[in-house]
A and B are shown apart, each in its own frame.
Chain A
Amino acid sequence: MNAPEVGISTSAGRGIFFDGLSASRHEVAVELAPAALRLRAADGTILAEWRYDELETLSSPDDVLRLGRAGNPVLARLEVKDPQLAAAIDERSAPVDRTGRIERRLRDKVIFWSVAATLSLLLVAILGVPLLASALTPLVPYALERKLGAAVATQARASLDDHRTGTVFECGNAQNEQAGRAAFDKLLEQIEAAASLPWPLKVMIVRRPEANAITFPGGHIYVFEGLIKNADTPDELAGVLAHEVGHVAHHDGTRTVIEGAGLSLLFGALLGDFVGGGAVILAAKTILQTSYSREVEAAADKYGITLMARIGGDPRALGTILIRIAGTTHPGPKILADHPDTRDRVAAIEAMAEPVPRRALLDQTQWASLKTVCARA
């Protein structure tokens, strides 16, 4: 036993060789020549000679070192089970990676760059997507915008309309509601005339208790029953309507749809659904779209105030009703009610609103019948 004399015990050994041409198994003697690994068959013929610097470690069970020649289209393989021989080969060959050290270093690089890629994707999601959406929005033709709006509105209606009470979703069509709708139309006409949009608005009053209004692409607007109930004066209602018309004028609905599609693409398609549920993507989208909405709302507020001044309404009324709504009804997580903190917003409205000559937007009877536009049949 000369085991301590490493030089002698590890300059040769045995292995199993597959020549890559057939699946037959060759028991070979492995010689560690100065520059190459030499494999000899039982009869002494040399089967292969591989230079140390072209060796490649291949995946194998833990106690086997499996070697091939890097870049060789022929899948010749040498398998070494003797740990001392394996160590000796590892010592002589730089690319042989018996302990997985080289692999680990490569992997660290992968991890670093994946995290970097993730961060840059998040950056694109936060900053790039809104910019891109703003650039694309003006390119959408009106006909398509209108169709998109109808589709989104139908979808929203499916989740808003609860069907339960046996009443229709839309207010203003029944006998005792028509006067209210007429008054509403009068209010709307004044706003629409002042706004002089290149296309008509399509406003629907819907039977929902929340004090809210939604604008969809292409001029579709839903005004909720709860908003009309909460408005004390025609000016307050007109203020909210003018704000929504601001969204229409700025194509905010269309931009939101494009942003949503862009985020879905970033998070859904590019990153893959790695936990098997769209919940994460949906939540990420909600957070990001909420963060986009601050400036959008501020711009719509500004537009609304200008519009109110033009029709002779009270520009401050929007602030008044916002405070009332925020004080009374705000159920659910605030993150979903995509409006910036109401206090800051109202302060901004107060600062922007300048005193203007006022006139009544509706007379007393008109306002009274508008308040009962959702009287139910």
Chain B
Amino acid sequence: MTILDTTVSTAQTSMSAPARMTRFLGRGAAFWRLLARGAVMLMFTLGIYRFWLTTDIRRYLWSNTEIADESFEYTGTARELLLGFLIAIAVLVPLYSAFFLLTLALGQMWSALSIVALTFLGQYAVFRARRYRLTRTIYRGVRFYQTGSAWRYSVYAVLWWSLILLTLGIAYPFAQSQLERFKMRNTFFGSMPGRFEGSGWHLFLRGIILWVLAVVPFAIGAVATILAIDWNALTSAAAGDDKASWLENSGLAGAVVFAALTGLWLLLSFAIFYPAFQTMVLRWWVSGLRFGEVAVSSRLRMTQVFAVYARFLGYALLFTFVVSVALMLGALVLPNISGALDATSEEIVTTVLVLGAYVATALGYSTIYQATVKLGLWRCIVETLDISNSAALEHVTAAGEPASPVGEGLADALNVGGI
């Protein structure tokens, strides 16, 4: 009976010591393996394998995330995702064809209208995909679920995102807080209702400095570019053939310099500010989540997020080097092989090889991104979580039903997927 005794005593010590409430248990190597195999399969199945890969990734992330000694469970299956995708195709193909024919028969206005309609449909899909994922998330034998109208969310989201664009991002904190409120007040863990308490003003006050640093120089640069061009000279000179005087008078040279500087700033500020911005938003978001009396807060630090991106950059550079070497070798070997073929098949073989190389490279970068950034951020977020009042979880009762995967399918077909 000694074995039983020791298990009981370890269980007791882990109950009494509140050391770390949340852990990420997964080893990076297992995730790399999963992704690498997935990338190869994606290539040979022209993407059909993605339903299985997505399911594998979610299973790994969910089941290795442990809160209060219990890990999550993802019960979704690849078969469901495939079904959702097929339904989405059945809906979208007639829709696309209808818009194509309407544009042809009635003019360009319909093409713009189709973009608007697909934008709404995209947000609808985002909300329904979230419902699918939540209802496939089990914790302590109890299901998460989501209520609320996906069309209402879609209208909400499109209006807020339009406002974000119109205000050059100023509205972002308020939009996020309102949209997250909508999502969370429709989210339940069994009988326990969720809500969101992050304040838009809070995020706004923190983020405004970043916004000023990133957007104001960009705006000044853009205005300077436009002002540098003498539009009258430009149009009058364009009619003539004297190109030298045209360049000189129109101030186009100066404008090019301003535009280049603006672009450089945009690139630089993106590299510097994006991880900072992401840290801020993630921390704010996590710290605003509530389920009943259970509150969450985050200790995520900016250096952690920078480290995640630095790792990505390191692996990406290494991979770039490997790809360049492989391409050079290929360029040396290829002419020897293709000599035996006639002209047309040679063209086809070369094109297929180039295409294969392109796909392999793109999949390589995507794999590196998922293994470093996606997993890295997930791990950082989980490991910096603080949970209070987790005892309240004991009293939750089960509720909710599994939802259909149509939202996932639409999101996949419209390229608006989440995780």
Which A residues form the contact surface with B (CB < 8 A)?
1, 9, 12-14, 18-25, 27, 58-62, 64, 66, 74-77, 81-82, 84, 107, 110-111, 114-115, 117-118, 121, 144, 147-148, 151, 165-166, 261, 265, 267, 269-277, 279-280, 283-284, 286-287, 291, 333-335, 340-341
Contact = CB atoms under 8 A, between A and B. Distances in A.
A77 B142 CA distance: 10
B359 interface: yes
Given A115-B44, A274-B50, 8 more contacts: A14-B8, A22-B395, A118-B45, A165-B241, A166-B238, A269-B96, A273-B47, A284-B355
Chain A at the B interface: mostly helix, strand, loop or mixed? mixed
Interface stretch (B70-78, B117-125, B272-280): B70-78
B205 interface: no
Contacts of B30: 62
Contact of B355 (A21, A22, A280): A280
A265 B93 contact: yes
B331 interface: no
Interface residues of B, number: 74
Contacts of A114: 41, 44-45, 48-49
Contacts of B328: none
B397 A335 contact: no
Given A82-B7, A115-B45, A269-B89, A144 B347 contact: no
A271 B46 contact: yes
A302 B312 CA distance: 59
A66 B73 contact: yes
Given A114-B41, A117-B45, A275 B89 contact: no
A334 B63 CA distance: 53
16 contacts: A1-B2, A18-B140, A20-B141, A58-B75, A59-B62, A60-B63, A75-B138, A77-B138, A81-B7, A82-B7, A111-B41, A114-B44, A117-B45, A271-B46, A280-B359, A287-B348
Which 7 residue pairs are nearest across A and B when measured between Cβ atoms?
A: A18-B141, A274-B47, A114-B45, A275-B362, A23-B140, A23-B396, A59-B59
A13 B11 CA distance: 13
Contacts of B396: 22-23
Contacts of B44: 114-115, 118
Nearest to A148: B104
Interface string B40-58: 0110111111101000000
Contacts of B2: 1
B41 to A, nearest CB: 6
Interface string B70-98: 11011100100000010001001100100
A147 B73 contact: no
Looking at chain B's contact residues, the main secondary structure is: helix
B105 interface: yes
Contacts of B62: 59
A110 B52 contact: yes
A110 B141 contact: no
Interface of B: 2-4, 7-8, 11, 25-27, 30, 41-42, 44-50, 52, 59, 62-64, 66, 70-71, 73-75, 78, 85, 89, 92-93, 96, 100, 104-105, 138-143, 189-190, 238-241, 342-344, 347-348, 351-352, 354-355, 358-359, 362-363, 366, 393-398, 412-413, 415
Given A110-B52, A274-B50, A280-B358, A25 B363 contact: no
A14 B4 contact: yes
A25 B362 contact: no
B355 A9 contact: no
Contacts of B74: 59
B92 A23 contact: no
Contacts of B139: 23
Given A61-B66, A265-B93, A18 B46 contact: no
A344 to B, nearest CB: 10
A219 B368 CA distance: 51
Contacts of B141: 18-20, 23, 75-77
B4 A13 contact: yes
A335 B347 contact: yes
Contacts of B11: 14, 27
B241 to A, nearest CB: 6
Contacts of A265: 93
Contacts of B342: 341
A121 B44 CA distance: 12
Contacts of A286: 351
Nearest to A60: B63
B7 A341 contact: no
Nearest to A78: B141
A81 B25 CA distance: 14
A59 B138 CA distance: 10
Contacts of A261: 100
Nearest to A10: B3
Nearest to A74: B398
B47 A271 contact: yes
Contacts of A287: 348, 351-352
Contacts of A22: 142, 190, 394-398
Contacts of A61: 25-26, 63-64, 66, 71
A283 B347 CA distance: 12
B328 to A, nearest CB: 21
A271 B63 contact: no
Nearest to B3: A9
Contacts of A9: 3
Contacts of A21: 397-398
B75 to A, nearest CB: 7
A293 to B, nearest CB: 11
Contact of A14 (B7, B105, B366): B7
Contact of B190 (A23, A82, A277, A279): A23
Contacts of B89: 269-270
Contacts of A20: 141-142, 398
Contacts of A291: 348
A274 B395 CA distance: 43
Contact of A272 (B47, B100, B393): B47
Contacts of A165: 241
